[in-house]
Structure 1
Amino acid sequence: MRAVVVGGSIAGVCSAHALSTAGWQVVVVEKTTGPPTGSPTGAGLGLDPLSRTIINSWLPPQHQHTLLNNHTLPLTIDQNQFTDADKKISRILTRDESFNFRAAYWSDLHGLLYNALPPQISFLWGHVFQSFQVSDDKKSVSVYSKVLETGETVEIVGDLLVAADGCLSSIRHSFLPDLKLRYSGYCAWRGVLDLSDNENSETFVALKKVYEDLGKCLYFDLGRGTHTVFYELLNKRINWIWYVNQPEPQLKGNSVTIKVSSTMINQMHEEAEKIWVPELVKVIKETKEPFLNVIYDCDPLERIVWDRVVLIGDAAHPTTPHGLRSTNMSILDAAVLGQCVMKWGVENLDVGLKDYECIRVPVTSKQVLHSRRLGRIKQGLVLEDGKVFDPNMASPLECKDLQQKYMPGFNDVPFGFEDNSYK
């Protein structure tokens, strides 16, 4: 059996691994012309224990327990705090010291997964997806892509089409043309400050004095109607995100990243000085080429499988980033898909795909909605009950909702993945 995966990001690479492990031939169609050497629109991410188990199963056996750790840093603490904009003093709201994630740089993780792909997987760089057509008997799919180098259109026929083409998925649109993404009410300034060439950086030393657990802590810093997220990545790189409430910007092209001007960046720096402690402001101001993401999600989908076409990752469940679920959901989507098609076999592929849908839709739906609520809490937006979370006045009980471990399905393991037995 042959699968055609549209999209060569982390969701697509994970799909290739999982389906290859299940005995499938895999072709990946990706519009960019080669593997990323940097990550201009993707920065840091957090990997949960199950995702790490799955990734390790795809790595060379002799390196399974070292490669991933060598590319990541531990995140053992989940801390939420409130910063008084006037006094520039921070106070801890809640702290979980049993947090068991690891921090990775997007391009580091992508490179690790891509380089571990079995040689029989065909990865077609510079192929822009155009369209697809399901055969009359619903047993095969023809995918058409444009080759950037030559301009020709090629046809790839497979028994399964995996749509790993992101939150603005054109494949999803063909089945759900009226589906609209939901603007969250805020955008996110993002950046990575690379201090790897400066062992004695004053910025890094000063930041460590204020945020003593940097290097093992996921920091959420809440202000009034705004919040930042930051943590250290491998090689003294500080990943930061700052969420700002604003009207929905006008998007151009098929991207949720806005092109920013020097004027916009300078205005952002001025606003940062009004809210955050000087040490964090310095990190923001010294970051080269910060970028701005428009934050969307969508109401959970009731189905993610149509005949021989299956959605995976952000194409299946666009989500806000507050629950650290996007990458982890993509990895688990791929692994469950691989397990289901292997369990039911070629003769019962339709049943296997429906099984995948039945396993993933309930849990990802809850996680999307929980992440949405978490974002509204931390941004001081009105909640379903009409209330607004005030970090300066919140009770300890109210602050507990800020912790990552209360994400639905946080510790749930799908059937077939128990006791780290996934292979």
Structure 2
Amino acid sequence: MDGEGKRGKAVIVGGSIAGISCAHALTLAGWDVLVLEKTPSSPTGSPTGAGLGLNSFSQQIIQSWLPHSKQQQLLHNTTIPLTIDQNHVTDSEKKVHCALTRDESFNFRAAHWADLHGLLYTALPSDIFLWGHLFLSFHVVDGKGSVIVKAEVLETGKVVEIVGDLLVAADGCLSSIRQKYLPDFKLRYSGYCAWRGVLDFSKIENSETITGIRKAYPDLGKCLYFDMASGTHTVLYELQNKRLNWVWFVNQPEPEVKGTSVTMKVNSDMIQKMQQEAEKVLIPEFVKVIKETREPFLNFIYDSDPLEKIFWDNVVLVGDAAHPTTPHCVRSTNMSILDAAVLGKCLEKWGAQKLESALEEYQFIRLPVTSKQVLHARRLGRLKQGLVLPDRDPFDPKLIRPEDHQELLVRNTPFFNDVPSSLGLIPSGCL
């Protein structure tokens, strides 16, 4: 709220983690918010999505958003610690692997997407969410005093107009809002896709599959495992409530992306072929986990060269709309949460009457950081997938060099422990 007492109104397009984080941060900054989301209702309690990692500062930010100690405890109860970042090398011919690097001061926590989303959603007033509202278009009113957003109510087909002071684009890597300002923008295909899945082992805890994977990866429950073979790598870690989150990255030509998602629903033939290919390169214990996972899905992995701007007039980009990134530095969700927190503090500092100054400061703080992190994640992904890099030979797990070891660690991501000075107002008890 500014010196004249005017409350700003923000319209947030997108109700995933980035959008819901902005709803928290902007509400605490004294703004009124509305969140437009095309899905018909909150996904709370659903098996939607997969695993993600929260760094220590994201955990602290989330704690500052939760109003009661009981809710703060829920963050701890819905996540499990990831205190170790470990890289393995797999011999695909002998079907064995060995440890390569180990960082025992990792200080992340693992969450399921739906669990984190549900926690953040239930801590907000339900009336700020407009579910089943498909964003159509927007225009900034002359003089930059307000922005008018059009959305379709999917249940009725009615088109509604919503007026706000600020439009927050939290509409993902394929952002249609970004496209209006950058019509020639195109995502950059990484050269590989990712098979992903979550295995619920609550009813097979003593099975050969689970005892085998725990023997092969003995620190499951506290470790983020990366396993590299020739031209590929995997990710494995445990989630709360007896679930295993796995990812398998596969080099392949760019697929045809249809619609507004980079996730593909797959059929049984595709799954069977994927499982057969996994048997050729992965250790048997990992293959069994893949085979027992219901409804695995396929992500196309994209990023983009860093943008030169992330706001125009009273429109601002956050999350994947601002910085599409590959997942190898475990940054995407953490970037979105930090975007929201910084944006909220800038808006609180400058007030609705000095919106341009607030957005300039947000861009000044976040753009240099996210740009370097996106490029580092791109490099790390290409390294682990054995793809060409301009300054070195392709990575060969069989010829691992000592100088390669440190390059594989997540903590070498630029600004890994960076805390923006603008966030100094977070309650000290949360830090």
Distance 2:188 2:29 in 1: 35
Distance 2:48 2:172 in 1: 13
Distance 1:156 1:418 in 2: 33
**Partner residue in 1 for 2:14:** 7
**Partner residue in 2 for 1:338:** 344
2:118 equivalent among 106, 111, 122 = 111
**Structure 1 residue 346: Cα displacement:** 2.4
- Equivalent AA in structure 1 for residue 36 of structure 2: V
- Equivalent AA in structure 1 for residue 405 of structure 2: C
**Deviation string for 1:8-56 (max 9, x for gaps)?**
0010000000000000100000000001146666200000011000001
Distance 2:246 2:267 in 1: 19
**Structure 1 residue 210: Cα displacement:** 1.1
**Partner residue in 2 for 1:96:** 103
Distance 1:267 1:48 in 2: 35
Distance 1:266 1:37 in 2: 31
Q: Check if 1:229 corresponds to 2:235.
A: yes
- Equivalent AA in structure 2 for residue 357 of structure 1: Q
**Deviation string for 1:164-222 (max 9, x for gaps)?**
00000000000000011000000000000111233423321111111100110000000
Distance 1:368 1:199 in 2: 38
**Structure 1 residue 347: Cα displacement:** 2.5
**Partner residue in 2 for 1:27:** 34
**Partner residue in 2 for 1:52:** 59
Q: Check if 1:147 corresponds to 2:183.
A: no
- Equivalent AA in structure 2 for residue 98 of structure 1: S
Worse-matched range after superposition: 134-143 or 385-394: 385-394
Worse-matched range after superposition: 58-67 or 343-352: 58-67
Distance 1:143 1:196 in 2: 45
**Structure 1 residue 297: Cα displacement:** 0.3
**Deviation string for 1:121-165 (max 9, x for gaps)?**
510000000000100011100000000111000000000000000
Pair 1:60–1:241, CA change in 2 (3 A): same
Distance 1:198 1:264 in 2: 25
**Structure 1 residue 421: Cα displacement:** 4.1
Distance 2:97 2:103 in 1: 17
Alignment of 1:208-287 (within 5 A): 208-287=214-293
**Deviation string for 1:240-281 (max 9, x for gaps)?**
000000000111111111232211111111111111111110
Distance 1:401 1:343 in 2: 38
Distance 2:25 2:342 in 1: 8
**Structure 1 residue 394: Cα displacement:** 1.6
**Partner residue in 2 for 1:72:** 79
Distance 2:169 2:360 in 1: 15
**Partner residue in 2 for 1:160:** 166
Worse-matched range after superposition: 355-364 or 252-261: 252-261
The Cα RMSD (Å) is: 1.4
Pair 1:413–1:192, CA change in 2 (3 A): same
Worse-matched range after superposition: 63-72 or 73-82: 63-72
**Structure 1 residue 61: Cα displacement:** 2.5
- Is contact 1:39–1:106 with CA below 8 Å preserved after alignment? no
Distance 2:191 2:407 in 1: 20
Q: Check if 1:409 corresponds to 2:415.
A: yes
- Is contact 1:13–1:114 with CA below 8 Å preserved after alignment? yes
- Equivalent AA in structure 2 for residue 287 of structure 1: T
- Is contact 2:173–2:324 with CA below 8 Å preserved after alignment? yes
- Equivalent AA in structure 2 for residue 394 of structure 1: I
**Structure 1 residue 64: Cα displacement:** 5.3
Distance 1:420 1:49 in 2: 14
**Partner residue in 1 for 2:144:** 138
TM-score by length of 2: 0.95
**Structure 1 residue 65: Cα displacement:** 4.1
Distance 2:352 2:139 in 1: 21
Alignment of 1:121-132 (within 5 A): 122-132=128-138
Give the secondary structure class of the aligned counterpart of 1:8.
coil
Pair 1:102–1:272, CA change in 2 (3 A): same
**Deviation string for 1:290-333 (max 9, x for gaps)?**
11111000000011010100000000000000011100000000
Worse-matched range after superposition: 243-252 or 346-355: 346-355
**Partner residue in 2 for 1:393:** 399
Give the secondary structure class of the aligned counterpart of 2:357.
helix
Aligned residues: 422
- Is contact 2:44–2:117 with CA below 8 Å preserved after alignment? no
- Equivalent AA in structure 1 for residue 103 of structure 2: D
Give the secondary structure class of the aligned counterpart of 2:33.
strand
Distance 1:311 1:399 in 2: 35
Distance 1:81 1:220 in 2: 6
- Is contact 1:41–1:291 with CA below 8 Å preserved after alignment? no
TM-score by length of 1: 0.97
**Partner residue in 1 for 2:186:** 180
**Partner residue in 1 for 2:387:** 381
Gaps of 5+ in 1: none
Distance 1:172 1:307 in 2: 13
Gaps of 5+ in 2: 1-7
How many percent of aligned residue pairs carry the same amino acid?
Answer: 66
**Structure 1 residue 341: Cα displacement:** 0.6
Pair 1:419–1:63, CA change in 2 (3 A): same
- Equivalent AA in structure 2 for residue 60 of structure 1: P
- Is contact 1:41–1:257 with CA below 8 Å preserved after alignment? no
- Equivalent AA in structure 2 for residue 231 of structure 1: Y
- Is contact 2:193–2:251 with CA below 8 Å preserved after alignment? yes
Distance 2:389 2:335 in 1: 25
1:300 equivalent among 293, 297, 306 = 306
